[in-house]
Structure 1
C-alpha cells in the first residue's frame, strides 16, 4: 500500500513548470493542472492475474483532484507483461469505463510494446449537474464559462488533470513496488478522452507520444464553419453544443477565449511529440475531410490511420489495434514511425501524389461515392494502388463522377519490428468545394 508520494508531487510540479504554452494567453489549462490539490491520493488494491495469461494487473484507487467542490475518483489498472523490455515507458489509455473484456487488447499492447500498460477509468467523473453525461456535461460546463464563469469551468481542465495525476501515481507506484523509473508516457483516448489526450500532451513534458482517437475537431471554429457548408447544418451528433449556441459564441470574445483554452489547435506549437491519429471514414460527428483544417499545421512526426467503413468506434477495429501496437513498440524503442506526405495537384483531372520515407509493402486506393457531400453512410471499396520501383511513391487521379461526389484516400502498408500495419492519407473529395476563407482562429 502507498499513499501520495511527495517526491512524485515535486517532480510533476517541476516538470509542468518547465512546459511552455503555445500561446501565452492560453494559460488557464496549465494553471489549473499545475495547481496543488491536497485531495490527490492513491492506494493499491493488489495484483490479480484475471483470466488473461501473460500479464498481471494491479489495481489502484486514485483521487485525482477536487473540482468545483467534488472529489474525482478513478480506478487505475496497470498491466505488466512477463518481460518488461522498456521500463521507462508506459502506455496510458484514458477511458470512461473499463471491463475485463478489454484485457486481451491490453495484453497485446503490453507484450508487443514491452511496456506497462495503464488504463485510467471514470474520465470524466459523471453524471454531474442534473444527471448530465459526456457531451451534455461538457456543453453545460462550456455554457457556464461563456456566461461569465471562471476559467476552471470547462470540463476539459479536470479531465486533463486526471490524466496528469494518473501519471504521477503510476510513477510513484512503479518506483515503490518494482524500483522502476518511469519517465515517459504514450497517452491515448477515444472521443472526449482523445480530446483529453491531445491536451495532456500539450501541457505535460512526460508525454512522449499521443494516440488521439476519433476526435477529428481541431481548429474548432473552422470545423463548424465547414460542417455548415457541407451539410447545410451542424451534425446532430454535436447537438449538445449547438443547443447552447456554441457556434454563435465562437464569433464572440468569450467563445474565442474558450477555444484558446480547450482547442488542441491552440497548443499545436507544443505538440512536437510523435502523433498517431486514429479516425473512422464514416464518423458522424464531423465531415469526411475534417483533417484538412489542421493536418498541415501540426508539427511532425505525425501519422494517421483512417479505418474504412468505420464510425465513432473506429478505435476498436483490427486495423487500429495493429497500428496502435506497432506505434507503441516503435516509440518504446526510440524509433520514428514511417512518415507519409501527400499533395493534391489541380488540373483537368486532379491528382494526388503520395510519398513515404521508407519502403511500403503495398498500397491500396480507397474510394466512396455519395449523391451529396455527406459520406457518413457511404460504402468504401478498395483496389490495389501501384507503387514506384522503390516502394515509396504512388499517384492516383481524383476523378470526378458525372453525378454526385467521390471521396478518395490512399493507404500504405508497412512492416516494422514484426508488426504489419497500415497508414492513410487524409481524405480528398472530388469535385471539391472552393477553399474556405483562411480562418484566424488561434
Structure 2
C-alpha cells in the first residue's frame, strides 16, 4: 500500500494550501503543456515511480519467499497510476483500476463535453481553472496524452504490457465520467480483461467495492480460472449478450433522464434493476428503447457462482442524440461549467 499525502508548492501562485489531487494534476498538466520537453512534469510520472520503487523494496524484503509478481490497484487518479505502472514495470502481473474511465482521453473529453450540451460537469473544475479545456486536441495536449493516457501505448514497444489481466471497475453515476466512456477504449484493449459497472455509485463511493472486488479477482487468478467474458452485439435496437460461462444471476440496470444526457448520482438519477431469467442457452437478448423522451442508460450485470461480477458496457439511447443546452442544476453538486471551446 502506498500512502497518500497532500503536496504543496509554495512558489506556485496558482496553488494554495487547500488544493489537493486533481488541482495538482491539472496544474502540472498545464505546466507540461507550457514546456513539453520536460517529460517528468506530469504528476502521473512521480506517482508511477513511487509504485515501482515500492515494488522494488517489497521484492527485496520478501526475497526469501520468492514473491516477485504483484497485482496493482488504485482508485481515481491512482487507477491511472496502476495502468502506467503496469506498462513500465514487468513485475506487475495484473491490475484493478477503479473509477478511472478516462482512457483514450482526448476522445473521452470531447464526448463528455458534448454529453453535457457543450458544457463541463462540475467535477472538471480543477482542469477548468487551469484552462485545460481550451487545450484539448492541441499539439501540446496530444504530447501530454502520449505520456499519461495508457491507451496511447497500444502501438508502442510497451503494447504487450496492456495484455496483462485487468479488472476495470467503474461507477455508473460518476461525477465526471459519462457512463458510456468505455466505448472509447474497452474493445481496443488486448489480452485478458473484465469490466464491472457498479450501479448507483458515484466517484468516491466506489471505495466501498474495492476489497470484495479484489478478492474475487485474485481468487480467480490464483485458481487459474478464466475471467468471464460478456460479448455483445446490437442489431435493430436489440442488445444480445453472450456469456462465456453461465451466470447464477442476471440483472438489467436502467436509468432514465427525460431532460438531459446526464446520469450523475448527485443529480438524483438512479438505475433500477430488473431480473432476467437464465435460460438453457448462453445468450440473452433485450430491447433497447430509443423512442423515449430524453435519454436512457442500460447495461447487463452477471453474477457467477464464485461471486465474481462482470457487466457489459453502458449503452445510452438514443446514442446519436446530444443535448444543446446544459442540464438543469438540481443542487450545487449537479452544476455544470460553461463551455468555452
Number of the residue aligned with 2:254: 367
Q: CA deviation at 1:125?
A: 5.6
Q: How does 1:265-344 map to 2 (within 5 A)?
A: 265-268=151-154, 269=159, 270-318=161-209, 320-344=210-234
CA distance in 2, matches of 1:276, 1:315: 14
CA distance in 1, matches of 2:89, 2:226: 20
Shift in CA distance, 406/360, structure 1 to aligned 2, threshold 3 Å: same
Residue 234 of structure 1 aligns to a residue whose secondary structure is strand
CA distance in 2, matches of 1:343, 1:328: 29
CA distance in 2, matches of 1:156, 1:304: 23
1:388-437 C-alpha deviation (Å, 9 max, x unpaired): 304x3211111135312111100111023xxx1321111111111269xx
Shift in CA distance, 323/223, structure 1 to aligned 2, threshold 3 Å: same
Retained in 2: the 8 A contact 1:410–1:425?
A: yes
Number of the residue aligned with 1:256: 142
Shift in CA distance, 125/180, structure 1 to aligned 2, threshold 3 Å: farther
2:271 to 380, 386, 403: 380
CA distance in 2, matches of 1:164, 1:281: 31
Number of the residue aligned with 2:335: none
Q: How does 1:36-51 map to 2 (within 5 A)?
A: none
Number of the residue aligned with 2:7: 126
Number of the residue aligned with 2:106: 221
Which has the bigger relative contact order, CA under 8 A and spacing at least 6?
2
User: 4+ residue stretches of structure 1 with deviation over 6 A?
Assistant: none
1:167 to 42, 49, 55: 55
1:152 is aligned to 2:34: no
Q: CA deviation at 1:323?
A: 2.9
1:203 is aligned to 2:88: yes
Retained in 2: the 8 A contact 1:387–1:393?
A: no
Stretches of structure 1 lacking an aligned partner (at least 5 in a row)? 1-118, 436-442
CA distance in 2, matches of 1:421, 1:317: 16
Retained in 1: the 8 A contact 2:25–2:42?
A: yes
CA distance in 2, matches of 1:340, 1:181: 35
Number of the residue aligned with 1:99: none
2:25 to 121, 138, 145: 138
TM-score by length of 1: 0.66
Moved more, 160-169 or 352-361: 352-361
1:139-170 C-alpha deviation (Å, 9 max, x unpaired): 11111111115111110000000000010111
Retained in 2: the 8 A contact 1:188–1:211?
A: yes
1:364-409 C-alpha deviation (Å, 9 max, x unpaired): 111111121111131111011133304x321111113531211110
Number of the residue aligned with 1:351: 238
Q: How does 1:67-146 map to 2 (within 5 A)?
A: 119-122=1-4, 126-129=7-10, 130=15, 131=17, 132-146=19-33
Choose between structure 1 and 2: higher strand proportion: 1
CA distance in 1, matches of 2:193, 2:289: 28
Residue 363 of structure 1 aligns to a residue whose secondary structure is strand
Q: CA deviation at 1:317?
A: 3.2
Aligned-CA RMSD value: 1.8
Q: How does 1:18-37 map to 2 (within 5 A)?
A: none
CA distance in 2, matches of 1:356, 1:145: 44
1:162-206 C-alpha deviation (Å, 9 max, x unpaired): 00001011111112xxx2111211100000111100111111111
CA distance in 2, matches of 1:148, 1:170: 35
Retained in 2: the 8 A contact 1:307–1:317?
A: no
Number of the residue aligned with 1:403: 293
Number of residue-to-residue matches in the alignment: 305
